[in-house]
Amino acid sequence: MENVTLFQDNQTHGNWTDYTTEYKVVSIFMVALICGVGIVGNVMVILVVLTTKHMRTPTNCYLVSLAVADLMVLTAAGLPNITESLYGEWVYGYAGCLCITYLQYLGINASSCSITAFTIERYIAICHPIKAQFLCTLSRAKKIIVAVWTFTSLYSVMWFYLSDLTELVFDNITLVTCGYKVPRSFYLPIYFTDFAVFYVVPLLLATILYGLIARILFLNPLPADPIEKSKKWRKESCTKSGTKSLASKNSSCSSTTVTSRRQVTKMLAVVVVLFALLWMPYRTLVVVNSFLTHAYLDTWFLLFCRLCIYLNSAINPVIYNAMSQKFRAAFCKLCHCGPQRSEKPPTYSVALTYSVIKETSNGESPDHFTTEMDQLTTHTDQFLPGRKRLSFQDPPLPSQVALSTA
C-alpha cells in the first residue's frame, strides 16, 4: 500500500518531476489530520474498554482488536506517507521497508478478521441466544482474538521476503523506493488471494449474517430464551400480587433489551458498510491494474485511495461515540468532561437472577446490563425505604441466587 509504483515495473524512463506544492500541502494536511484523529480515537477505545469494568464484553473485545489493527494501519501506512510527500522517496532504509510493509498488511488483515469475528458473534448472540450463553463468552472472545492475530501474523510474514528497496532510474535523478523484488506479474496470486480472503469473503458473510439478524430484530420477535422466560414469570407473579407498576417496568425492560440489541447491531453494521465503501477504491485499483499493461497511477487518485483507507481506520471511534450511549459516556469520563458517576456498589442487597448474570457474560450490550441494574435499584428503593432486605410474597425461582453487593 505504501509503494508508490503499485505494480509498476522497476525500470522507468524520462525526467522526474517533484510533487507540486498544492499536492504536498493537501496530502500532508489531510493525512496528518485523519491519522491524528484516528490515533487519538483508537487509543481512547482501547483505554475505555481496558479501564472500565462493565465495558469488558465479548463484542467490545473485538472492537479493541479492531482498534489495535487500525492503529497499526495509521502509524505504519499513514505517517510514512507524509515523508514520501516531502522527499519523494523512501527514507527509512532497508529494515524500515521490511518492517513497515509487514505491519501495514498485518493491520489490514487483522482489521478484516476482527470485523468478521464480531459479525459472527452478533449473529450467534441474537439469533441463537441459548447457544450464545456457552459460545459468546469473554474468555472465548479472547481466545478467538489471539487466533486471529496469530493467523494474520504468520500470513503476513511473506512480505519480509517479497519487499525490498528499489531504485527508480530517471534521466535526471535516481530515487530509492520500497518496492518489490520481482516483476508485478509474480504478485498477482498474492493480491487476488488478499482481495478474496480479506475483502470479498468477509463482506459476503456480513451481508448474509446481518440479513438474518435484521429478520430477527426488525421483522420477528426475539426467540424465547431463559432471560425472556424469567422476565415473563416476574411480570405474571407481580400482576397476581397486585404490583402492576412493577410488572409494567419489567415489561419495559424487555423492550429496552430489544432496543439495546438493535442499537449495537446498527453500530456494527455501519462499521462493516464503511469498511466496504472506503476500501473499494484501492481494491478496485489493484484489480484493474492487474489486467493493464501500464498501471493507472494518477497521483491524485492514489492520494484519494490512501485517504479512504486511513479514514476507514480513523472513523470507527467516531461511530462508537455517535451511536453508543455507553461509549459516549465512557469517552467523556476518560476525558474528565461531563458529570462523574460513582462506580461504588450500592450498600444494599438485591436479588439478581441467574439469567441476568448470564446475559452480561454472553456478549450482550453493556447498555442492557446497566438498564437492568437501574431498574432493580428502583424496585429496591420502592420496597426498602430504610435499606431493609427485599422480601417477595411469592417464593423465588430455584434459579435465583442472592447476590450481595454491600
Residues of 154-176 as b/e, b for ≥16 C-beta within 10 angstroms? ebbeebeebbebbebeeeeeebb
240 touches 345 (CB < 8 A): no
Q: Considering Cα of 37, then 42, then 43, then 47, what sign does the dihedral take?
A: positive
The span from the CA of 265 to the CA of 141, in Å, is: 17
The span from the CA of 67 to the CA of 203, in Å, is: 19
The span from the CA of 122 to the CA of 265, in Å, is: 7
What DSSP string describes 323-357? H-HHHHHHHHHHTT-S-----PPPSSEEEEEHHHH
pLDDT for position 259: 74
List own/partner pairs for 258-263 with CB under 8 A and 24 or more apart: 258/217, 258/222, 260/364, 260/365, 260/367, 260/368, 260/371, 261/126, 261/217, 261/222, 261/364, 261/365, 261/368, 262/217, 262/218, 263/323, 263/324, 263/325, 263/365, 263/367
Looking at residues 152-169, what average pLDDT do you find?
91
pLDDT, tens digit (0-9, with 9 covering 90-100), for 195-223: 999 999 999 999 999 999 988 887 765 54
Looking at residues 86-97, what average pLDDT do you find?
90
Residue 232, SS3 per DSSP: helix
> Which of 93, 287, 96 has the alpha carbon at shortest distance from 296?
287
The span from the CA of 169 to the CA of 16, in Å, is: 9
User: How far is the first Cα of the chain from the last one, in angstroms, to the nearest whole number?
Assistant: 55
pLDDT for position 216: 85
The larger pLDDT score, comparing residue 332 to residue 384, is at: 332
Confidence of residue 254 (pLDDT cuts 50, 70, 90): low
pLDDT for position 258: 66
Residue 241 has pLDDT above 70, yes or no: no
Residue 251 has pLDDT above 80, yes or no: no
Average pLDDT, the chain: 77
Distance of CA 236 to the CA centre of its chain: 40
What DSSP string describes 392-405? -SSPPPTTEEEEE-
- DSSP code at position 177: E
The span from the CA of 137 to the CA of 382, in Å, is: 34
> Could you write out the three-class secondary structure of 85-113?
HHHCCCCCHHHHHHHHHHHHHHHHHHHHH
Residues of 326-351 as b/e, b for ≥16 C-beta within 10 angstroms? bbebbbebeeeeeeeeeeeeeebbbb
Residue 396 has pLDDT above 70, yes or no: no
- Whole-model pTM? 0.75
pLDDT, tens digit (0-9, with 9 covering 90-100), for 344-378: 444 433 333 333 334 444 444 444 444 333 444 44
Q: What percent of the chain has pLDDT over 90?
A: 42
Looking at residues 228-232, what average pLDDT do you find?
49
54 touches 370 (CB < 8 A): yes
- DSSP code at position 291: T
Sorted by where each starts, the structural domains of the chain and their CATH numbers stand as 21-221+256-334 (1.20.1070.10), 349-404 (no CATH)
Task: Pull the grid cell for residue 80.
Answer: 510514512
